[in-house]
Amino acid sequence: MAILEWIRFLVGAAFLLGGLTVFGIELFGVFHYKYVLNRMHAAALGDTLGIALCMLGLVIFSGFNFTSVKMILVVVFLWFASPVASHMVARFEVSTNEEIEKECEIDKGEE
């Protein structure tokens, strides 16, 4: 039984370390890029994967109980909320930045 506990601990720790690594790479991307849409893209991708890996590690640590169900629901909520929030920030940036043509190409749609 002690072997199974060690395996569970190592797998949970691996997921937590993987999530923290993703968050570290995300921070590098946020501070490395100079344009706001690139920063936002790095942050949106990083937090979605990072929170999923960290929460999965915590679910493995706690076992399957009501707390783990709540953690899974947090991940599901963030998977829906983060892309929507990122999309709204990007649309706000495109609609309010008058000098956006200097930074990127904007498709105006069919004329």
Q: Which tens digit of pLDDT belongs to each residue from 9-59?
A: 999 999 999 999 999 999 988 888 887 778 888 888 888 889 999 999 999
77 within domain boundaries: yes
> Is-above-0.95 flag for pTM?
no
Is residue 2 situated within a structural domain? no
Domain-located, residue 49: yes
SS3 content of the chain, % helix, strand, coil (to 5): 85, 0, 15
> Is residue 66 classed as helix, strand or coil in its secondary structure?
helix
Q: Does 72 reside within a domain?
A: yes
Residue 91 lies in a domain: yes
User: Residue 5: CA atoms inside 13 Å, Cβ hemisphere, count?
Assistant: 2
Any domain includes 57: yes
Domain that holds residue 84: 12-96
Q: How many domains does the chain have?
A: 1
Residue 66's pLDDT band (cuts 50, 70, 90):
very high
**Is 5 domain-assigned?**
no
Contact (CB, 8 A) for 55 and 15: no
